[in-house]
Structure 1
Amino acid sequence: MDFPERVDCVIDGTGLSESLISASLSILGKQILHIDRNAYYGGVLASLRFPEFEKLLSQIEPDCPKSLPIIKDNCLDLSEIESPLVTHRSSEWFLGCDDSFDSYDDNDAENYSSVSRKVIDDSPSTMALPSDITVQHDHISTEISSVVRELGEEQEKSNGDGHETVTVTEQKSDDADKIVQSQKLWSRSKLRNAVRLHDIDIVPKIIYSHSPVVTALQRADVTRYLEFRFVSRLLAYIGNNQCTQQSGTVSNNADNQSSLTNFTGHVVKIPVCRSDVFKTRLLSLHQKRSLGAFFEWCFHLMINDTQRSTTHSKKDEDYCAYEDRPFQDLLTEKRKLDKFTQQLLITNLSFSNQQIKTKEAIFRIRRLLFSMGRFGPYPILWPMYGSGDLTQGYCRMSAVFGTTFCLGCKVEKIEYINSEVDAVTQSVENMTTNMKDGQIITGADPSSSSSMPKNNTDNDFIVYLSNGKKIRTKCVILCPECLPYSWISDFINHWCARAVLITDSSLLPDDCKSSDISILAYSFNANNQQNDLCLDPVIIIECQVEKNKFCKDNLFVVHLCAIIKQPNDPKKIFQPLLNCLFTQYDDNTVHPSSVNQGHYKRPRMLWAGYFCVPDLSSIPNNFSTLGKSETIMNSNIFITAGPDATPDLDSIIPNAEEIFRKIISILGLPNNSQNLASTTSGINNDDNISQTSRSSMYTTIDAVWDGQFPPKAPQPEDIIVVDESVNPPPVVTIEVPQEDRN
């Protein structure tokens, strides 16, 4: 492929931060070279097919290099650096070796298109985010108040009419698609054929409908490349001890009491949307009223999404008294909630443990409340093809605006040069002598790099790539994988222990649809299990494998995520949970060998993979913070932070914006602080994009940028490409409306 000789920025890594910055710069008309050492996009957020995922876990982990990079005043050599971010890798089969391998035709697999990726799919089980939707807080407040009023009535409404603003139609399951136990013996070859086209996340992430991630997706118009499903089921595992504690405090109604005891040792469904609140038998009428009143109180607190702190237009005494105290104290002493309802709020709705402070817990619950009703009845979204599809969406948008991409390539050396000195040298070397009419005329070669427009800074780099190319640029962005582990280890405070299971049934088979995505937060402490290796709770995400012509049986991919302080054996960490919720496949039985806990039959594990991934959210974005004082380290080289160990992606956006703001200053783009707004500020100025240049009937994209991050991508019909035959690449312009030309 043809590589540019000079670009505005070189980016190594295709994680979400790097891809978001790449798309933002390219939308503003900057030339970007975007590379990745892997053969896939996404970094630790990649989504891999099962053969690639199995290969990743089977690779031998390379030792961290003992020798550090060669650092000089004007050179940084990274050629020998290889820092594996995925550690403690292992996998195991619970199926015996095949007597005969059931081979299949690869051409048939490629022709099978029902699970192939599509840019846009109008399937009723999927959704595409609208490009311009804002949260109507008044509407949400009315909905919550309505719930509280209806819960105060003596009779519950059981009709559960559907959400009036639902934009997604849930896919109905046919009788053939009901979750039933498979009566066929599994083999390794059959399982490989069944899941080979399913996308498995290295680090799965959920997306709240009201979050900086969604705002960024809409502003950059990346939603045109993405599809989402709702997380339609929030599950909870209720052990014997939880029901025993609950039975004496729920209600004096015998019917309610007996309905709760049926869930002993069960996985149950927690109400997610408004209609589910009235249908559920998990909560008594008294609990529903108490929970609804708490939600209404929580909703009306004023919160600053950027700083995750709460401010008060009208001071709330209860909140102020418990702001820095454990959340459980507020629920017990002020809200008078019973133990079971407290457990649902702390573990299953805020995804935390008893140590969480009131400030953080209120923020998480309010985020959940604000997300309800924005795109449909459910507050949480799941990328249809995994979290890796988000990074690919930004990369596609970046490519549309001229970015050059190359996989399997990495930065080996960065050499600092002084532009003023180099310009003189280049002009001498590029002098050409031509004879015209007996006279010698000297001049600079117009094709040389010295004839290119001079930028606002004198700092330039020569970047040497692993494919032998040399690129000249103004700034370089590196992902944490590019650096030696010894440089970033002090900034890794937590790790994410991961397990990926393939099972033959759902955690809750009742009323399970093929389009359902389920989340269960499992607490070791709540189930009287001591586990000092990880922090409660363990987040479990379950999705069904789409059936294909190789296999019509039900299969589920189950993701387990736990926050740990130091990398450890994930199998050892998850073993108590696995013993409680799952069982191993038994080759000697046709029907699933499940251990009954009441009426609960545990899913059988057919395959399991384990590994650890570091929390990269605290990595500093410059070398000076790393303690490197050399000249090249204090120049225009930036480091992106990766995802944290929490279930969401909200921490990535502020880091990407901070680096983006620094780069546009280096590249000479306007960075007026009076006109800046971010995706986390809650300001929505999408409809008012000011025209800053009216000297021509056309203007460049950066001239009409409104200062928000990420920049708003223009619509295809507004883009006019001029001078297509000119080198350097053409300038992308936007047509100015007729009324603004005067």
Structure 2
Amino acid sequence: MAEDLPDEFDVVVIGTGMPESILAAAFARIGQSVLHIDRNGYYSGQWASFSLKAIEEWVKESQAPEEVYISEVKTDGEQVMLHLKDNSYHKYKLQFHISDPEPELEEKKEGVKNIADGSQEKDSNKIDLDQDPGDNVEKEKEKLELEPESTDFNQAQTSPENLKDVDETNESNENNVESGTQNSLEDKPPEPTPNVDNAASDVKDTKPTTDKPSSPLWTESKLRKEWRKFNLDLSPKLLYCGGSMVELLITSDIAKYCEFKTVSRMLTLMDGKLKKVPCSRADVFSSKDVSMIEKRMMMKFLTFCVDFEKHEEDYKEFMEKPYKEYLEHQKLSKNVIHFIQHAISMTSDSTPTPEGLKKTQKFLHSLGRYGNTAFLWPLYGSGEMPQSFCRMCAVFGGVYCLRTPAASLVVNSDNVCTGVVMTTGKQIKCKRLVMENSYAPDSYIDSVSNRLVNRGILVTDRSIMAADDPHQLSLLRIPDSSDEEHPTTLLELPAASMMCPTGLYVVHLTKEANNESQSPEESLQSVVTKLFKDSDIDSTSEDGSRQIVWSLYFQQKINVGGQSSSAPSNVILVPGPGPEIDIDHAVTIARKIFEEVMPGEDFLPRPPNPEDIIYVDEEETQVTQDSEKTEFSETFQGSGDDSSQTTQPDSIDNDHADQSSETKATNGSGKSDVPSNSSDIQNSAEEISESIEKCVIEEKMEPATS
């Protein structure tokens, strides 16, 4: 594939992560020729989302040693070798916490079918009440190949996805599922078309049974069989509803490539209990965890934060002091300070006051834009976001090649990069090069900027906090008493987020590390113990704990933007994903770089509507222009000194006009290239107009190709 590429591009982009994909789209949008390559066989790089099988393969490939490439290509400058493998990840630990039952015991169990046959246990008299009855309907509808509706910016809808209607030929199957659900309810009439939204309300008054299932719901073989339904993020990121990423998606019209779901539940851990954080005015006054006095002081402070810049005198003395001290100075209660610091602003004890106020303001500005939430989650994972910008780049002529490693850069004596050399030996020249940090040689990286992030991905069989609606996405930030500067961020994603099969949850844990001595599992163990093994956390569970069925821990080394002075002047390094929960930082980096290298150019403006574009043949356009030029020349030639004739073309003497037009339109052979009189000119123009109109109609009738 690399051998078929052109020999020169304006910009070569190495890596398909978030910042570099935004830049690739921005360069292509203004007419630059862009080559976008990646050494991996998948998009998004360190921002990628994997299926269960793919993430196991990723772990194996990441632990393999890096290959050494020896170039035999002769170039005009020095060759600087690049990394052919991402060395940012370390200390992996992947584990299945469940196993398959023994064959002898499996044969003795009645009513349970072998998972290998692809069947499921069906019992109309027994329903797992920890799971919403709507999930049983949803499972049956998945067999019927139904797809849930999803949120997009064009419709500005953020309610949970409703299931589409079932075909009449499959109504009997759905009725069987509904009958099983009906038997577990008290005096509930059957519903013809249940949906996700109202299914949770059907069981809120039922009491959980103490009967335990006769066999584990999930086994390793069943989990592996559902591997396609998993989308596990290496770096999960949310979008502030009022953040820069949402604004960019709207203004650039890239929102049409994305689907989102709201993060409807903000949680916090107080006194060993999980509690829902009151964010909006309605939440504050309806919360039972906040007293009436606390409600008033909380609303007063949040109202101040909305436009705190106008009241600088109120926080001027705390410009260099921590945000927590400023909250205490406002005489807020302990509960209110906890909600604001750890849930709304998500700040640490050392965060400066101006930064804390800005984060609080950003949260409040995002609240209510797409429902009673401040965050959006991209369906199918954060890895979909870079791909959306790659699509925009491809629309405007960008060339994409996966599994195409760049072996080296070609740098001349002026320390300017003139091109790249592929592992196939193909040399491509470029004027500018954008590269993700993990590709760059060590000499180009400022080691002072390195940060360590411990990440954990858990698959559990129930939510961390029981609720009527099992489809809620939850966000939780947990302070660490032993490391107050680096709290743990927890993001729980149900099946409605398109991250896992129905009945399971994906839990992402993220914590910045102080040093490399502690393993990721040890760093996150205290949170896992509190939420998944401590019986005092959730009294609604049978045994007070959630079962972890699968887990992966790993550590990531991140360069957050340091580029050494030894790097060529036209090489741009962009960082990977950091520990922050939102994605706006990538937009800030990409916009800053683009404005520096392309001053005066628009950053990802909205593309024209395809229906408004008229495609015209160049030869027909030239004929039209010549015809118009001849007609005007006749007008001026025949007008003489009478100015009134200039504005009245009908009064021109035809004989004189014919002579004038023939004089101006004759070529070297004396033959005229245009019609000989004005009536012929008009007829010719009408024919051209009809031809152009016909061309446009045929263009619109052609089917769209992706």
The alignment partner of 2:381 has SS state of coil
**Aligned residue type for 1:332:** E
Output the CA distance in 1 between the equivalents of 2:372 and 2:554.
Answer: 35
Is 2:342 the partner of 1:347? yes
- The two structures, once aligned, show a CA RMSD in angstroms of 3.9
What is the Cα deviation at residue 524 of structure 1? 2.1
Is 2:217 the partner of 1:323? no
How many corresponding residue pairs? 541
Question: Compared with structure 1, are the counterparts of its residues 116 and 719 closer, same or farther at alpha carbon in structure 2 (3 Å cutoff)?
Answer: farther
Equivalent in the alignment of 1:47: 49
What is the Cα deviation at residue 117 of structure 1? 13
Question: Compared with structure 1, are the counterparts of its residues 122 and 555 closer, same or farther at alpha carbon in structure 2 (3 Å cutoff)?
Answer: closer
Equivalent in the alignment of 2:199: 173
**Aligned residue type for 1:47:** S
Is 2:195 the partner of 1:238? no
What is the Cα deviation at residue 559 of structure 1? 0.3
Equivalent in the alignment of 1:478: 435
The alignment partner of 2:197 has SS state of coil
Output the CA distance in 1 between the equivalents of 2:145 and 2:79.
Answer: 40
Spell out the pairing of 1:540-551 with structure 2 (5 A cutoff).
540-546=490-496
Is 2:469 the partner of 1:512? yes
Spell out the pairing of 1:682-697 with structure 2 (5 A cutoff).
none
What is the Cα deviation at residue 520 of structure 1? 0.8
> Which one of the candidate residues 234, 246, 249 is aligned to 1:217?
249
Equivalent in the alignment of 2:607: 713
**Aligned residue type for 1:473:** C
Q: Does the 8 Å CA contact 2:44/2:386 hold for their aligned counterparts? A: yes
Q: Does the 8 Å CA contact 1:11/1:476 hold for their aligned counterparts? A: yes
Output the CA distance in 1 between the equivalents of 2:376 and 2:545.
Answer: 27
The alignment partner of 2:56 has SS state of helix
Equivalent in the alignment of 2:7: 5
1:380-399 CA-to-partner distances (Å, cap 9, x unmatched) read 11111111111010011111
Output the CA distance in 2 between the equivalents of 1:470 and 1:116.
Answer: 50
Q: Does the 8 Å CA contact 2:450/2:560 hold for their aligned counterparts? A: no
Equivalent in the alignment of 2:40: 38
**Aligned residue type for 2:241:** S
Output the CA distance in 2 between the equivalents of 1:536 and 1:357.
Answer: 15
Equivalent in the alignment of 2:308: 301
Is 2:290 the partner of 1:286? no
> Which one of the candidate residues 439, 454, 457 is aligned to 1:497?
454
Output the CA distance in 2 between the equivalents of 1:83 and 1:69.
Answer: 20
Output the CA distance in 1 between the equivalents of 2:421 and 2:615.
Answer: 31
Question: Compared with structure 1, are the counterparts of its residues 72 and 490 closer, same or farther at alpha carbon in structure 2 (3 Å cutoff)?
Answer: farther
What is the Cα deviation at residue 272 of structure 1? 3.2
What is the Cα deviation at residue 331 of structure 1? 1.6
Spell out the pairing of 1:451-466 with structure 2 (5 A cutoff).
461-466=418-423
Q: Percent identity?
A: 27
1:484-529 CA-to-partner distances (Å, cap 9, x unmatched) read 3564361434222100111111011122332x1100111122xxxx
> Which one of the candidate residues 608, 631, 645 is aligned to 2:579?
645
Is 2:87 the partner of 1:84? yes
Output the CA distance in 2 between the equivalents of 1:267 and 1:372.
Answer: 22
What is the Cα deviation at residue 45 of structure 1? 1.0
The alignment partner of 2:327 has SS state of helix
> Which one of the candidate residues 575, 578, 591 is aligned to 1:657?
591
Question: Compared with structure 1, are the counterparts of its residues 113 and 392 closer, same or farther at alpha carbon in structure 2 (3 Å cutoff)?
Answer: farther
Output the CA distance in 2 between the equivalents of 1:62 and 1:476.
Answer: 28
Is 2:203 the partner of 1:203? no
The alignment partner of 2:59 has SS state of helix
Output the CA distance in 2 between the equivalents of 1:55 and 1:503.
Answer: 21
Spell out the pairing of 1:137-152 with structure 2 (5 A cutoff).
none
Output the CA distance in 1 between the equivalents of 2:539 and 2:92.
Answer: 35
Output the CA distance in 2 between the equivalents of 1:59 and 1:505.
Answer: 31
1:24-48 CA-to-partner distances (Å, cap 9, x unmatched) read 1112222211111111111111111
Equivalent in the alignment of 1:337: 332
Is 2:610 the partner of 1:610? no
1:698-727 CA-to-partner distances (Å, cap 9, x unmatched) read xxxxxxxxx4423332222233556799xx
> Which one of the candidate residues 548, 563, 573 is aligned to 2:512?
563
Equivalent in the alignment of 2:153: 129
Output the CA distance in 1 between the equivalents of 2:606 and 2:156.
Answer: 11
What is the Cα deviation at residue 222 of structure 1? 0.8
Output the CA distance in 2 between the equivalents of 1:75 and 1:116.
Answer: 59
Structure 1 or 2: larger strand share? 1
1:74-129 CA-to-partner distances (Å, cap 9, x unmatched) read 22332565341122111122113564694478xxxxxx9959999xx882xx3211
Q: Does the 8 Å CA contact 1:194/1:547 hold for their aligned counterparts? A: no
The alignment partner of 1:709 has SS state of coil
1:333-374 CA-to-partner distances (Å, cap 9, x unmatched) read 2x2111121111111112222222211110110001111222
The alignment partner of 1:645 has SS state of coil
Question: Compared with structure 1, are the counterparts of its residues 62 and 20 closer, same or farther at alpha carbon in structure 2 (3 Å cutoff)?
Answer: same
Output the CA distance in 2 between the equivalents of 1:402 and 1:709.
Answer: 17
1:592-648 CA-to-partner distances (Å, cap 9, x unmatched) read xx567655622111111101123332233xxxxx142xxxx4342221222222111
**Aligned residue type for 2:475:** I
Output the CA distance in 2 between the equivalents of 1:356 and 1:198.
Answer: 36
Q: Does the 8 Å CA contact 1:492/1:614 hold for their aligned counterparts? A: no
Equivalent in the alignment of 1:20: 22
> Which one of the candidate residues 529, 532, 535 is aligned to 1:582?
532
What is the Cα deviation at residue 480 of structure 1? 0.9
1:160-180 CA-to-partner distances (Å, cap 9, x unmatched) read xxxxxxxxx993434689898
Structure 1 unaligned residues grouped into runs of 5+: 106-111, 134-168, 240-264, 303-311, 420-457, 585-593, 621-625, 665-670, 673-706, 726-742
Q: Which deviates the most, 205-214 or 490-499?
A: 490-499
The alignment partner of 1:171 has SS state of helix
Structure 2 unaligned residues grouped into runs of 5+: 104-113, 119-139, 158-194, 620-706
Q: Does the 8 Å CA contact 1:195/1:545 hold for their aligned counterparts? A: no
- Structure 1 or 2, whichever has the larger Rg, is 2
Question: Compared with structure 1, are the counterparts of its residues 229 and 117 closer, same or farther at alpha carbon in structure 2 (3 Å cutoff)?
Answer: farther
The alignment partner of 1:602 has SS state of coil
The alignment partner of 2:199 has SS state of coil
Output the CA distance in 2 between the equivalents of 1:80 and 1:297.
Answer: 50
**Aligned residue type for 1:219:** T
Output the CA distance in 2 between the equivalents of 1:115 and 1:611.
Answer: 35
Spell out the pairing of 1:250-261 with structure 2 (5 A cutoff).
none
What is the Cα deviation at residue 64 of structure 1? 7.5
Q: Give the TM-score of the pair, scaled to structure 1.
A: 0.66
